[in-house]
Amino acid sequence: MDTGSVTTATPAAHALPASSSFVSPLQPILGMLAAIRQAQDAPLGVADGLIVPPAADGWLPGTAFADGTAIADLLAGPRHRWDALPHASATLAWKAYAYWLALPAVLGYTAVRRVPLLHAGNVVVRLSTGKPYVTIGIRRLALAVLPNDPAAGQPGVRVLPDEDALLDVFRETLVDQHLAPVLHQIRQQARVGKRPLWGSLASAVAQGVAKAADTLPVDAVATATQLLDTFGVSDLVDVERKREGGLAVQRRTCCLAFTVSCLKTCSTCCLPAGA
């Protein structure tokens, strides 16, 4: 269940190609995801191309998790795979869901200030018995950018006046209109506090920034802090730059992976190694 930082080759922040070279406004994000997949030599919990065709089988709407319809299926995964206790099943299922949902948008904002809009109505989810256990996709292109972005004016692209407005929409679509309702539904079915659940979002955001940290001309720690503050979870994770490069991420909450006999304490956990 560990999702430690990986150094990848990513585009420099704000270094966007000329509009004439665009294939898709999502291309910078897809390039980063492809580099991460190659570096870790394992499939990602993000759909190839991010957009899932309407006729694709096996996908559930994000609204089914936000309204509780599919929450039992989500929580059943860790219980069946690892015989996890109910509260651990909830934290582990949420950890995977929040991580893969946030990753494309965190990468997009960090590197090129492009934010896929991941509200529940635009997201589809596939649950699996094998890795990745949760895969996230979107129904249609919906992207928020700044006025100087070459993608401005393209279909499906929403132009916002400044970074404050971009961050507001990022929070509204990812957290207010998706993760917060999912968290509420999880807590209706499992006895688990809000703090460890939001701690996994904080970790997901910090680790997403960490994956691009070594290639950014901007301060990656400041960017991580900016996003954590925007989502209201900055007190749940510590982020600092390593001497040798990259970011060190340390959670202040636990996902409870250590309670499952076949799992181990994550490298970012607040518990001592080997606990």
pLDDT confidence band for 260 (50 / 70 / 90): low
Helix (H, G, I), strand (E, B) or coil at 53: coil
The CATH number of the structural domain formed by 25-259 is 1.10.510
Cβ proximity of 267 and 249 under 8 Å: no
Cβ proximity of 235 and 195 under 8 Å: no
- The pLDDT, as a whole number, for residue 248 is 85
Q: How far is CA 270 from CA 161, 231, 232, 237, 250, in A?
A: 39, 21, 19, 9, 7
Distance CA 127, CA 110 (A): 27
Q: What is the mean pLDDT of residues 96-103?
A: 97
Q: What is the mean pLDDT of residues 41-68?
A: 95
116: nearest Cα among 150, 157, 165, 175? 157
Query: Which burial class, exposed, middle or buried, applies to 130 when counting CB atoms under 10 A from its CB (0-12, 13-18, 19+)?
Result: exposed
Instruction: Specify the length of the chain in residues.
Output: 275
Q: What is the mean pLDDT of residues 215-221?
A: 76
- Condensed to tens digits (0 to 9), the pLDDT of residues 162-197 reads 999 999 999 999 999 999 999 999 999 988 899 999
Does residue 234 carry a pLDDT above 80?
yes
| Residue 217 half-sphere exposure toward CB, CA atoms < 13 A | 6
Q: What is the mean pLDDT of residues 18-35?
A: 78
Q: What is the mean pLDDT of residues 115-130?
A: 96
